[in-house]
Amino acid sequence: MPHSRPAAVAGMFYPDNAEQLTQHIDDLLSSVPPHDEHNLGPSALIVPHAGTIYSGPIAASAYTTLVGSQDRYRAVVLFGPSHRVPFSGMAVPEASTFEIPGATLFIDTDLFQRASSFQGVIASDKPHQLEHSLEVQLPFLWTIFGSIPILPIAVGHPNQAQLAKVIDALWTDDILLVISTDLSHYLVQSEANEVDRRTADAIGTLDPSQLSTEHACGIKALSAFLHTARLRNARIVELDLRTSADTAGTPERVVGYGAWSIYL
């Protein structure tokens, strides 16, 4: 039976009041300074996924690149790590909709069927039930697009070749791909800046061989995506690179955040 996946981290990672959430996301997007990059319509984004008071300004720098080119996208496919439920492979949700305060986003049935046909992909609500790495992207997507169809894919411990095949198959001209990952975790600010700069350099050259779980929590999808983007001769633009100490945290124990737009 069709059912909905209710918001799990509203009130913790972002406001749980619809009007406050709308204002909050609008404020984040409007606070982004103009980009030097003037190309509209990125094919993919790499964005962070912490509470929006921490990583929201960095994520907003990526989502603002979509403004003015919304009509080119038919749907959005999101890949994010499963933080709470360990499993092999990738999981598409059994739920037909995802809820956030004041909005409902519908799962794209065609993309669901295509993804489900690949080895290593299961249909399961369990990895999605409490997962924040995908949910925190939805208020941005709703604000930018309104009711665009989505397909959130939770990434467990997949075969990397299988994951790359799924990314390659779903990443078409009319699909926006969103890769959700934070960078270094719980270092002091100065060390995090050094580590994240090296990570950003590897991302900027589409070189996943230089990356490990120490560099990014969403390393599985990030690495497979960079491999695919390199094969497609993609161009990548670094938009923001900061830590939680730069937004709302303390410098003694920070998490790194970065945002990139990718063009084919």
Here the CATH number for the domain that contains residue 18 is 3.40.830.10
Cα Dmax for the chain: 51
Q: How many angstroms separate the CA atoms of 230 and 149, rounded? A: 27
Q: How many angstroms separate the CA atoms of 5 and 7, rounded? A: 7
Q: What is the mean pLDDT of the chain?
A: 96
pLDDT digits (tens, 9 = 90+) for 175-207: 999 999 999 999 999 999 999 999 999 999 999
Would you say residue 214 has pLDDT above 70?
yes
Question: Average pLDDT for residues 72-95, to the nearest whole number?
Answer: 97
pLDDT digits (tens, 9 = 90+) for 103-146: 999 999 999 999 999 999 999 999 999 999 999 999 999 999 99
pTM: 0.97
Q: Which two tokens stand for residue 184?
A: 């270094």
Contact 122, 28 (CB under 8 A): no
pLDDT, position 38? 54
Structural domains of the chain, count: 1
Q: Which two tokens stand for residue 261?
A: 């737009």
Q: Which two tokens stand for residue 227?
A: 């491999």
Report residue 96's pLDDT band, with 50, 70 and 90 as the boundaries.
very high
Write the DSSP string, the chain. Answer: ---EE--SSBTTTB-SSHHHHHHHHHHHHHTSPPPS------SEEEE--S-HHHHHHHHHHHHGGGTT-GGG-SEEEEEEE-SS---BSEEE-S-SEEEETTEEEEB-HHHHHHHHTSTTEEE-SHHHHS-HHHHTTHHHHHHHHSS--EEEEEE-B--HHHHHHHHHHH--TTEEEEEE----EEE-HHHHHHHHHHHHHHHHTT-GGG--TTT-TTHHHHHHHHHHHHHTT-EEEEEEEEEGGGTTS-TTSEEEEEEEEEE-
pLDDT, position 36? 63
Domain residues for the domain of 204 are 4-263
Contact 218, 208 (CB under 8 A): no
pLDDT digits (tens, 9 = 90+) for 20-60: 999 999 999 999 987 765 567 899 999 999 999 999 999 99
Burial class (CB in 10 A: 0-12, 13-18, 19+), 212: exposed
Residue for token digits 């100490």? Answer: 245
Report residue 222's pLDDT band, with 50, 70 and 90 as the boundaries.
very high
Report residue 78's pLDDT band, with 50, 70 and 90 as the boundaries.
very high
Residue for token digits 């981290």? Answer: 9
Q: Where are the alpha helices (DSSP H) in 117-209?
A: 126-129, 132-135, 138-145, 160-170, 189-204
